[in-house]
Amino acid sequence: MRDVARLAGVSHQTVSRVLNDLPNVSDGTRSRVLDAVRILNYRRNLAARTLVTSRSRTIGLIGFETTLAGPASMIYGIEKAAREAGYYVSIATVRSLDRHAVLDAVEQLCAQAVEGIIAIAPKNSVADALAQAPPGTPTVGVGGADDGAVPMLRVDNVRGACLATRHLLELGHRTVHHVPGPADWPEGRDRIDGWRQTLHAAGAPVPPVTAGDWSARSGYLRGQLLAADPGVTAVFCGNDHIALGVLRAFHEAGRSVPDDASIVGFDDMPESGYFLPPLTTVHQDFAELGRRSVDLLVARLAGTPAPTAPVHLPPSLVVRASTVTRR
């Protein structure tokens, strides 16, 4: 920093003010300092800066190993929002969602002097571990965890399931079958609840459900059973991967989608519009989810009390060619 000051002809305090984007520096002086920074290829020592300012400008982000579109899109949205807010992001990835693995990730991030932690929290075990972060390290969970252990942001999965189910009923289907995700994920349970509530409200029969997982294979296996029943004309799937498997099962059974059966997914992953046929699905705004989660964490860093209830973001229905009016 003293080398930059010498080249720019200013004090090192002025260099510090420019680098920290503080006021009361003339445009000409700011320009000379920035030119000197470029000429000398100066890079700030973040560790030293953290010691001086007690601010690392770094957010910890906990994710988990997955190929699922939802969690991966959440991580991207959070990282993008953090950069736009002027924060670096340090990511810790866990192999499983058990409490001990998440606690290890929290400890790892705290050792890097992160100012706060955001975690993808599809299960309560993640939120419970996040609540054990050291005092003074604010935390925020993003996802379906519903035990109130930490401030949470999530898409309103019940409402999303209602949108999908109501859409199919309004197309003239007598009832809607559901191919769910795993029973131990609150998001999966919420989507079952929304589907079931909508059928009850419409006075429609409620078919039995069998929990699976979030994979296309799970959708395919369940889809084979549904496709064999000519009375099945509408299927709401727990996510778009499941819907992909169901689509294949119906195709192999010689049942046309949407002429013989309408199918709806959940997530609106980028590939969903390129399924055959293009998939009607529930859209989750992952970019907005990332921005709101970073905003909440930054507000907590500034001393704003955490919300006492989860923050729900409304989903929307994207209608494509996999659903049609029942003939």
Averaged pLDDT, 67-87: 88
Burial class (CB in 10 A: 0-12, 13-18, 19+), 99: middle
Confidence of residue 65 (pLDDT cuts 50, 70, 90): confident
| pTM assigned to the model | 0.82
Compute the distance between CA of residue 40 and CA of residue 34 in angstroms, rounded to an integer. 10
Using one digit for the tens of pLDDT, what is the confidence trace for 132-172?
999 889 999 998 877 788 999 999 999 999 999 999 999 99
Q: Which residue has the higher pLDDT, 95 or 316?
A: 316
DSSP H stretches of helix in the chain: 2-8, 12-19, 27-40, 46-53, 69-84, 99-110, 124-130, 157-170, 186-202, 216-227, 240-252, 286-301
- Residue 237 has a pLDDT of 98
Judge whether residue 51 has pLDDT over 70: no
Using one digit for the tens of pLDDT, what is the confidence trace for 231-263?
999 999 999 999 999 999 999 999 999 999 999
Using one digit for the tens of pLDDT, what is the confidence trace for 14-49?
998 888 778 889 999 999 999 999 999 888 766 555
